[in-house]
Amino acid sequence: MRIHRKVKLAFFITLGVAIVLFGILVYHIASMRPVENAHIQVSRIDFDKPFDSLGTIEVKEKLHAIAGVKSEIIVKNNVVVYFHDNTVADSKKIFAELMAKGDYNAQRFIVPANLANAQVCPVMDRDGYKYKFAKLVQSVFN
């Protein structure tokens, strides 16, 4: 069966445009500078009493020794805020490890429901094909 010449032409033009657009998309993703500390998470632990200067140093040292905890640790009164790589350790694991290192009475901070319900725009789904494709291309070029 002979395919009409105009249909063939339209097919190849469409294919060409698709290839060019795909190339632009790949270039765009490849040239993006990856976000520093992409898996950084901030977590907070509320203790039952404020820290003095020695207690501050001690709790910082204990947290620093836990795998995945980053360099910035903030101690303010009875509150400790720290950053960590959530692909290495989540906040529950770090909390459990810290509690095992000392005689502390504390609880993990959970964002209050009235504040947590505030509207935010949707973010990229890490299980979605867009996220996986972008990660694949970036891993090739970076």
Contact residues: other proteins, CB under 8 A = 33, 35-44, 70-74, 76-77, 79, 81-83, 86, 90-91, 109-112, 114-116, 118-121, 123-124, 126
Among residues 51, 67, 68, the alpha carbon closest in space to that of 102 is found at 51
Length of the chain: 142
Residue 75 DSSP code: E
- Let me know: does 78 contact 46? Beta carbons within 8 Å: yes
Cβ atoms of 120 and 88 within 8 Å: the answer is: no
Closer residue to other proteins, CB minimum distance, 25 or 74: 74
CB nearer to other proteins: pick between 12 and 133 = 133
Q: 44, exposed or middle or buried, with CB in 10 Å at 0-12, 13-18, 19+?
A: middle
With respect to other proteins, which residue has the nearer C-beta, 105 or 119? Answer: 119
Least CB distance to other proteins at residue 73 (A): 8
Q: Which is nearer to other proteins, 5 or 114 (CB)?
A: 114
Shortest CB 102 distance to other proteins, Å: 20
